[in-house]
Structure 1
Amino acid sequence: MEITENTGHPRRWAILGVLVVSLLVVVLDNTILNVALRTLADPVHGLGASQGELEWAINSYTLVFAGLLFSFGVLGDRTGRKRFLLIGLAVFGLGSLLSAYAQSPAQLITARSLMGVGGAAIMPVTLSIISNVFDPRERARAIGVWSGAVGLAVAIGPILGGALLERYWWGSVFLINVPVVLAGLVLVGLLVPESRDPRPGRVDVLGVLLSVVGLVALSYGIIDGGEHGFGRPVVWASIAVGLAVLAWFIVHERRSDHPSLDVTLFRVPRFAAPVAMIGLIFFAAMGVMFFSSFYLQLVRGYSPLQTGLLFLPFALAQLVFAPRSAAMVRRYGGRAVSAVGLCLAVVGLGTFAFVGVDTPIWLVGAAFFVQGVGMANVMPPAMESIMSALPREKAGVGSAVSNTIRQVAAALGVAVLGSVLAAVYRGEIAATTAGLPAGARNAADESLAGAYAAAGRLGADGATLIDAANTAFVDAMHWAGALSAVVAALGVLVALRWLPGRPSRPPVTAVPAGEPELAATS
């Protein structure tokens, strides 16, 4: 048999290393932030951010990232992928620098939005560059390395963040990005070749604006309602405007000949079902990750580094079981594997509906591990179903849609579950704070971190407030944990009803040739 020449770039593996670092810094940032939330809420050592402001610190990045992902992929294909990667790294580095030295929660939220712009420019072009520099025979292996960087970031992010917070001020979790970005700019400039799509798509500017405005308005109403109560007209007006704009977005996308999100794909059940499943599990999981950081650091008194280590069972489960999931799909079929995985995630998430102030910490670690095992067995069958439901030339679109839905669902999970947590906590703590001075009462009513700060100024009465705040927070966590489990359980029903029993072609680990074109929109 004749062996054809490898058509890949001579420096393709070095280029892949640079692209992996570029991706790593984008994913790492969010996992680092989880362990920094308690410090950011501290009025002395942090910014004194409220729970709602912390939710926006997460969601301002995620929503901007998700809203721009498709269009920035098209822009990268049109203007030059190397150029766009350099621009994305520079913007991400600038946003990181501004985040590190933010003087208020509002400044941090704005800087995080800028980081979202940079992240949205980086992620799609890295896959497109891989497609350009690797021979098709090596492409699946290269993308496997690229995908593994995400798991690595999930694993080391909380530990690195905790280690930084043990020795340095809170801004270090953002400042750590800057030298990595600078190195990335130099290496990309030296190693990565320029490439363009000879037939780039058109940018759907109106679609991008509608999606971002609609999601921000909806999230604002949910977060503000949870923080200050749902009895105010402005909350429901914001939610109504958000839903109306998102409905306009869907109508516009259906009529557009160059949509930023091809909503017609959702008419295909084998595509729509796994995308919905991905959205449901990430909605549930990211909301739990948000409040569990406060539980571990405030209620249980663990340091940031110890908290990062307690998140490690989740990451290790992902790293160990995700690579084995594809073999399970081949043997048992996507429906069975994903249903079992989602059931395990329900158990892990539902554990937080029963965790108390003094629950053995090994049980919390076990819950994270079970949740990680479950989620590791959701993505491969979901992606296999997505890919098998689409023609080969739409493979990149399928990946991009699932990634966008995942980001949006994560943001809404933080918003909704965070609002449930805040509303229940506020109702539980009200009786205890009624007799406190106005300043202490307002701080304690706002959040658990506020209660701890107020307790420090109350002398002997502070211990009573802390006990009441811990109890109120744990009660609120029970409601949020139960809701997250219910949402994940809906994913089980979706999997059992619509996911195929056996893959019609090899699972997604053998990535189709079109997969790297994440930026494609049609």
Structure 2
Amino acid sequence: MTTPANPASRIPEAVHRRRWAILAVLIMSLLIVQLDTSILNVAIKTISTPAPTGLGATQSELQWAINSYVLVFAGLLFTAGLLGDRLGRKRALLGGLTVFGLGSALAASADSPGELIAFRSVMGLGAAFVMPATLAVIMNVFERDEQPKAIGVWAGGVGLAVAIGPITGGALLNHFWWGSVFLINVPFVLLALALMLWLVPESRDPNPGRVDALGVVLSVVGVVLLVYGIIRAGELADFTEVTVLSTITAGLAVLVAFVVFEKRSDHPSIDVTYFRNRVFSAAITVMALVFFAMMGVNFFSAFYIQSVRGYTPLQTGLLLLPLAAAMMIFAPWARRLVDRLGLKATATGSMLIIAATLATFAVLEADTSIWFLEAVLFLMGVGMAYMMSLTSVAIMQALPREKASSASSLSSTFRQVGGAFGVAVLGSVLSTTYRTGIEDRLSSLPTDLRETAGESVEAALAVATRLGPEGEALVLSANDAFLHAMHITALCGAAVAVVGAVVVALFLPGKQRGPQEDGKEPELAAAAE
């Protein structure tokens, strides 16, 4: 049965009737973008294998294959959101998906790690326009009372990508070459484009004002410099290196200039007074902290499952199903728990679950029961389901509907910058701890092999394979060093999640005793006082 539109609604009746079909198309678009990231995590080991099986990418090149996407994606998100508000969210979706599909086809045909990195940048350019537009369209086709449920389903779509990405990637790698994990995007992009042209309505900010050209330039330059410095620090495993410090400092300086300019501008790209809303600020901060912890842990978990435990890419995908299933199941129902316990209690509990499951990685060993790992992943998915849904709703409902793309792009920017920090910082902790733990055990190896084996556990296993039976001791040493490094890194990620729990406990409102007479969302009404 179709719920009738509110007579006072600005949503046309024809759009209201097909809102759930529109949501399905938006989730398909989101899946295409998210699927690529989860597939790549499974394919990392294969791409690092020498040709013809892979590209022979080093650990540094693997990081850049991930981070070139992140760099372009994060750098252009804010601008893409502004253009979506101004030119139309449907146009942004169509253009972004087209560029993403082209980048996917090119990445599948890459002949070297350098080409793969470049084509991943093209994919990041397309994704920058897709991600904010999906949430923006949701805010413009659903009434306010249905938005939490719709965003919950949207967040569950991320869980679906987590589930089918590794499984699809593993199945493809079992039967085809590594490039198939990118080529698979193309037919789905074509289907999404056709459905979008048919179903999705156009929407834009009716009063966008003049273009804030200087603000746009400052935002792009600032984010790109900051993210590049973070990525470079992760690559070098050294945040004190001169180029790293100078790049990060320059990025922060440009972003400060951006904020100062926006406060004084009569036509700002973003009204910085939005950050006075404590729910908005707390939610966007916690979003960054969660992805800081999660992205860093995801980076080493693929190596733990495949390199240390010896599972194939397909088996790895299947092992990640509990995480994805929990996100899919619980995200759409987050609102019910909020109504019962309140936003503060629900968000704090979710963050503590994430922190506890991240800390549990510190007790995993090479022979830990796989069912224990599955239980940990399921609980982690529960925490992520609630946090993604709650923070997304709080961020999107804090800003006017007309600024929906801007709100979504701000959320995505903080998420991507937080994730880049996580990969860089926790990746540096992992790399440094691994090298320190194994260097004393490599003295019997030739100098060139000693340096290679000290780079990563995967490189050490490759050296051990070349050594034959004599390499068995190296395998044990590499696994021990990696597990110790993983334990330290996991505890660092858990500590960041605890900080997130403190933030939501301090700044998000508790359970409301009664409905707000002004019609505002209870949590946001409380925060605006």
On whether the aligned pair clears a TM of 0.5, the verdict is yes
Query: Aligned in 2, Cα 1:482/1:426: closer, same or farther, shift over 3 Å?
Result: same
CA deviation after TM superposition for structure 1 residue 87, in Å: 1.9
Partner of 1:25: 32
CA deviation after TM superposition for structure 1 residue 355, in Å: 1.3
In 2, Cα distance between equivalents of 1:135 and 1:273: 24
Partner of 1:35: 42
In 1, Cα distance between equivalents of 2:512 and 2:180: 46
Checking the alignment, whether the CA contact within 8 Å between 1:35 and 1:304 is kept in structure 2 is yes
1:440 aligns with 2:449: yes
CA deviation after TM superposition for structure 1 residue 156, in Å: 1.5
Checking the alignment, whether the CA contact within 8 Å between 1:254 and 1:262 is kept in structure 2 is yes
Checking the alignment, whether the CA contact within 8 Å between 1:81 and 1:194 is kept in structure 2 is yes
1:55 alignment partner, one of 58, 63, 75? 63
1:87 aligns with 2:103: no
Partner of 2:114: 106
Partner of 1:469: 478
Partner of 1:216: 227
Partner of 1:162: 170
Q: Percent identity over the alignment? A: 52
In 2, Cα distance between equivalents of 1:237 and 1:3: 54
Please identify, of 476-485 and 86-95, the stretch whose mean Cα deviation from structure 2 is larger: 86-95
Checking the alignment, whether the CA contact within 8 Å between 1:214 and 1:241 is kept in structure 2 is yes
Checking the alignment, whether the CA contact within 8 Å between 1:99 and 1:107 is kept in structure 2 is yes
Query: Aligned in 2, Cα 1:240/1:437: closer, same or farther, shift over 3 Å?
Result: farther
Length-normalised TM-score, structure 2: 0.86
What per-residue deviation string (whole Å, max 9, x for no partner) do you get for residues 398-432 of structure 1? 44433321222112111111111011111112122
Checking the alignment, whether the CA contact within 8 Å between 1:350 and 1:481 is kept in structure 2 is yes
Letter in 2 for 1:23: L
Letter in 2 for 1:21: M
1:205 aligns with 2:213: no
CA deviation after TM superposition for structure 1 residue 387, in Å: 6.1
Extract unaligned runs of 5+ from structure 1.
516-522
Please identify, of 114-123 and 231-240, the stretch whose mean Cα deviation from structure 2 is larger: 231-240
In 1, Cα distance between equivalents of 2:130 and 2:169: 22
SS in 2 for 1:102: coil
SS in 2 for 1:458: helix
Please identify, of 478-487 and 428-437, the stretch whose mean Cα deviation from structure 2 is larger: 428-437
Checking the alignment, whether the CA contact within 8 Å between 2:140 and 2:401 is kept in structure 1 is no
Partner of 1:175: 183
Partner of 1:520: none
Structural mapping, 1:391-470, within 5 Å: 397-470=406-479
Partner of 2:527: none
What per-residue deviation string (whole Å, max 9, x for no partner) do you get for residues 78-126 of structure 1? 3344443322122101111121122222222221111111011123334
In 2, Cα distance between equivalents of 1:357 and 1:197: 54
Query: Aligned in 2, Cα 1:208/1:147: closer, same or farther, shift over 3 Å?
Result: same
Partner of 1:7: 13
Partner of 1:519: none
Checking the alignment, whether the CA contact within 8 Å between 2:82 and 2:405 is kept in structure 1 is no
Query: Aligned in 2, Cα 1:241/1:52: closer, same or farther, shift over 3 Å?
Result: farther
Structural mapping, 1:139-154, within 5 Å: 145-154=153-162
In 1, Cα distance between equivalents of 2:454 and 2:5: 74
Structural mapping, 1:206-355, within 5 Å: 206-226=217-237, 229=238, 232-355=241-364
Checking the alignment, whether the CA contact within 8 Å between 2:153 and 2:332 is kept in structure 1 is no
In 2, Cα distance between equivalents of 1:400 and 1:231: 31
CA deviation after TM superposition for structure 1 residue 475, in Å: 0.9
In 2, Cα distance between equivalents of 1:33 and 1:199: 40
CA deviation after TM superposition for structure 1 residue 175, in Å: 0.8
Query: Aligned in 2, Cα 1:486/1:269: closer, same or farther, shift over 3 Å?
Result: same
Query: Aligned in 2, Cα 1:7/1:392: closer, same or farther, shift over 3 Å?
Result: closer
In 2, Cα distance between equivalents of 1:384 and 1:252: 28
Partner of 1:518: none
Checking the alignment, whether the CA contact within 8 Å between 2:170 and 2:313 is kept in structure 1 is yes
CA deviation after TM superposition for structure 1 residue 330, in Å: 1.2
Query: Aligned in 2, Cα 1:139/1:244: closer, same or farther, shift over 3 Å?
Result: closer
Extract unaligned runs of 5+ from structure 2.
525-529
Please identify, of 173-182 and 191-200, the stretch whose mean Cα deviation from structure 2 is larger: 191-200
What per-residue deviation string (whole Å, max 9, x for no partner) do you get for residues 359-407 of structure 1? 2222222221121122223234445554676667666654443332122
Letter in 2 for 1:377: Y
Please identify, of 129-138 and 293-302, the stretch whose mean Cα deviation from structure 2 is larger: 129-138
Checking the alignment, whether the CA contact within 8 Å between 1:207 and 1:259 is kept in structure 2 is no
Letter in 2 for 1:28: L
CA deviation after TM superposition for structure 1 residue 222, in Å: 1.7
Equivalenced residue count is: 509
Checking the alignment, whether the CA contact within 8 Å between 1:39 and 1:46 is kept in structure 2 is yes
**RMSD over aligned Cα atoms:** 3.2
In 2, Cα distance between equivalents of 1:418 and 1:444: 17
CA deviation after TM superposition for structure 1 residue 442, in Å: 2.5
In 2, Cα distance between equivalents of 1:435 and 1:467: 15
SS in 1 for 2:368: coil
Query: Aligned in 2, Cα 1:469/1:116: closer, same or farther, shift over 3 Å?
Result: same
Checking the alignment, whether the CA contact within 8 Å between 2:75 and 2:221 is kept in structure 1 is no
What per-residue deviation string (whole Å, max 9, x for no partner) do you get for residues 110-146 of structure 1? 2111111101112333444556667889777665554
Checking the alignment, whether the CA contact within 8 Å between 2:464 and 2:475 is kept in structure 1 is yes
Letter in 2 for 1:29: D
Checking the alignment, whether the CA contact within 8 Å between 1:347 and 1:370 is kept in structure 2 is no
Query: Aligned in 2, Cα 1:288/1:29: closer, same or farther, shift over 3 Å?
Result: same
What per-residue deviation string (whole Å, max 9, x for no partner) do you get for residues 180-232 of structure 1? 11233344445555555433353543133223322233223321321xx5675
What per-residue deviation string (whole Å, max 9, x for no partner) do you get for residues 249-270 of structure 1? 4444444445455443333333
Checking the alignment, whether the CA contact within 8 Å between 1:224 and 1:235 is kept in structure 2 is no
Query: Aligned in 2, Cα 1:498/1:142: closer, same or farther, shift over 3 Å?
Result: closer
Checking the alignment, whether the CA contact within 8 Å between 1:8 and 1:135 is kept in structure 2 is no
In 2, Cα distance between equivalents of 1:505 and 1:101: 59
Checking the alignment, whether the CA contact within 8 Å between 2:157 and 2:328 is kept in structure 1 is no
In 1, Cα distance between equivalents of 2:63 and 2:513: 41
Query: Aligned in 2, Cα 1:157/1:106: closer, same or farther, shift over 3 Å?
Result: same
Checking the alignment, whether the CA contact within 8 Å between 2:352 and 2:501 is kept in structure 1 is yes
Letter in 2 for 1:481: A
In 2, Cα distance between equivalents of 1:323 and 1:135: 16
1:502 aligns with 2:508: no
What per-residue deviation string (whole Å, max 9, x for no partner) do you get for residues 295-323 of structure 1? 10000000011111111111111122223
Please identify, of 445-454 and 177-186, the stretch whose mean Cα deviation from structure 2 is larger: 177-186
Query: Aligned in 2, Cα 1:459/1:387: closer, same or farther, shift over 3 Å?
Result: closer
In 1, Cα distance between equivalents of 2:301 and 2:520: 35
